C-alpha cells in the first residue's frame, strides 16, 4: 500500500487522498466482478451499470480509510461495482456537468480503480458562477440559481461528458486512473469521471470497472 501526500485542491482546499497498490488481492476483486450480473440502478444518475461489492470489501475499505486518516468512524453506507457504459449522446443534461453525491459535509466518497488506461480517472471542479467547489445545505439554493444562470447564458450543456470544455466550470484537480488505485474525497465536492467515449463498454474484463463507495467519515 503506497500512500501519497494529501492534495488540497482549489480555493477551498478540497482534500484528496490517493493510495496505490491499495488492495492485497485486486485480481480477486476483478474475478468477483466478472461473476456478477450488472444492471442499471433505479433513480441513479451514474452513467452505467452496477453490481454488489464482494463480501468483506466494506470492512476492508473502512479499515483503509481509518488507517490513512481519511476518516475516523468510517462506516460504509454504500459500496458497489460500477462500469461506465453510456454514450455521450444518451446523457441527460444533469449528467453533462460535474456533480456532487450529497450535501452532507460529513460523508466521504471513494473510488477504487480496477482497470487500467486508456480508461480515465476522476476530475474535480469549481463552479465559476458561484465559486463553489463543495455544496452544503447552506449553498444548495445558490447552486441551483447558478445553474439556472448558466443555462440562460450558455444553453443546455453539449451531449458529452464533463471536462475542461464544460461551460461554467473550471477543473481544480485530477486523480489519474491506475490499476488498484483507491481515492477518497469529500462526497459534497464537485467532481466527474473522466469518461472518454472510446473507453466505454459493459464488459467487466475490459470496461471502466471501479468500486464506488460512500462512507460516514
pLDDT digit string (tens) for 154-180? 999 999 999 999 999 999 999 999 999
C-alpha cell at 38: 450488472
pLDDT for the residue numbered 197: 65
pLDDT for the residue numbered 53: 97
Decide: 163 and 194 in contact? Cβ < 8 Å.
Answer: yes
Question: Which portions of the chain are predicted below pLDDT 50?
Answer: none
C-alpha cell at 179: 490499476
pLDDT for the residue numbered 74: 77
Residue 133 CA to residue 85 CA, distance in Å, equals 27
pLDDT for the residue numbered 182: 98
DSSP lists the bridge partners of residue 216 as 75, 107
pLDDT for the residue numbered 119: 93
pLDDT for the residue numbered 217: 83
**pTM for the complete prediction?**
0.95
Decide: 122 and 192 in contact? Cβ < 8 Å.
Answer: yes
Amino acid at each position: 500500500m503506497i500512500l501519497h501526500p494529501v492534495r488540497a485542491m482549489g480555493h477551498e482546499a478540497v482534500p484528496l487522498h490517493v493510495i496505490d497498490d491499495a488492495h492485497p488481492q485486486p485480481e480477486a476483486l476483478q474475478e468477483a466482478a466478472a461473476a456478477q450480473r450488472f444492471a442499471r440502478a433505479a433513480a441513479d444518475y451514474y452513467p452505467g451499470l452496477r453490481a454488489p461489492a464482494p463480501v468483506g470489501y466494506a470492512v476492508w475499505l473502512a479499515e483503509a480509510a481509518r488507517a490513512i486518516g481519511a476518516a475516523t468512524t468510517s462506516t460504509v453506507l454504500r459500496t458497489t461495482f460500477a462500469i461506465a457504459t453510456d454514450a455521450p449522446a444518451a446523457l441527460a443534461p444533469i449528467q453533462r456537468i460535474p456533480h456532487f453525491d450529497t450535501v452532507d459535509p460529513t460523508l466521504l466518497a471513494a473510488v477504487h480503480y480496477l482497470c487500467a488506461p486508456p480508461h480515465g480517472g476522476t476530475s474535480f471542479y469549481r463552479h465559476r458562477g458561484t465559486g463553489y467547489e463543495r455544496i452544503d445545505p447552506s449553498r444548495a439554493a445558490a447552486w441551483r440559481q447558478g445553474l439556472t444562470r448558466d443555462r440562460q447564458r450558455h444553453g443546455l450543456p453539449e451531449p458529452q461528458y464533463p471536462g475542461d470544455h464544460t461551460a461554467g466550470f473550471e477543473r481544480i484537480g485530477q486523480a489519474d486512473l491506475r490499476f488498484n488505485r483507491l481515492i477518497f474525497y469529500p462526497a459534497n465536492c464537485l467532481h466527474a469521471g473522466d469518461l472518454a467515449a472510446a473507453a466505454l463498454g459493459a464488459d467487466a474484463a475490459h470496461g471502466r470497472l471501479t468500486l464506488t463507495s460512500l462512507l460516514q467519515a
